[in-house]
Amino acid sequence: MWSAKTKTEVEPQLRVMRILTVALASGPLIFAAVAATVIPPPATPATMGQIAGRPGMMMIGLFAFVSAILMRRFVLKMLPMMARRSLPPTLPRGDRIIAFMTMMRTRLIVTSSILEGAAFFNIVCFMLERQVPSLGAGVLLALMILAQFPSMTSAEHFIEEQQLLLEQESR
């Protein structure tokens, strides 16, 4: 558990991360709602299987979906490791917590942006082909952004984990 002083230092950063999370997820969700309800389907929608002998947009959207998930997993592992290596070992505990919160915010922004890009791509695929799985993939990716919504507990866990890893790496 953290002291009241530490929680006071961390809470404003958590508030910013919560705002970023909602903002990054709301774009694709609003766009999906508009694409599904307001934008009329094209006069001749593309077919699911082929567009002029090439794979349909739905297949490309599925590739974007899988790529975003895999890239997110890679970034979740690599970003904190690279950031920990740049921290000086003599950094005081309070400054370390601020550095770890910055690391957590950066990780949130990068992973959410990857998911957001794939979500928008899948929604555009839905607009072109009118295939519901493309819309579902876009909405699912946006919900995955919301699933990263930071809490005080998740921040505590992340910082404790990073401190342990930092200690292990410095030995």
Domain ranges of the chain: 11-38+77-170
pTM of the model: 0.79
Output the pLDDT for position 50: 47
**pLDDT bracket for residue 21 (50, 70, 90):** very high
56 — pLDDT class (breaks 50, 70, 90): low
Q: How far is CA 73 from the centre of its chain?
A: 10
Burial class (CB in 10 A: 0-12, 13-18, 19+), 157: exposed
To the nearest whole number, what is the mean pLDDT of the chain?
Answer: 82
Q: What's the rounded Cα separation, in Å, for the pair 134 and 50?
A: 15
Residue 89 confidence (pLDDT): 67
Q: 118 exposed, middle or buried (CB, 10 Å; 0-12, 13-18, 19+)?
A: buried
Looking at per-residue pLDDT, the higher value among 97 and 73 belongs to 97
Q: Tell me the one-letter amino acid at 102.
A: T
pLDDT, tens digit (0-9, with 9 covering 90-100), for 1-17: 567 777 888 899 999 99
- pLDDT at position 45 is 56
Q: Is 51 or 147 the better-scoring residue by pLDDT?
A: 147
pLDDT at residue 57, as a whole number: 66
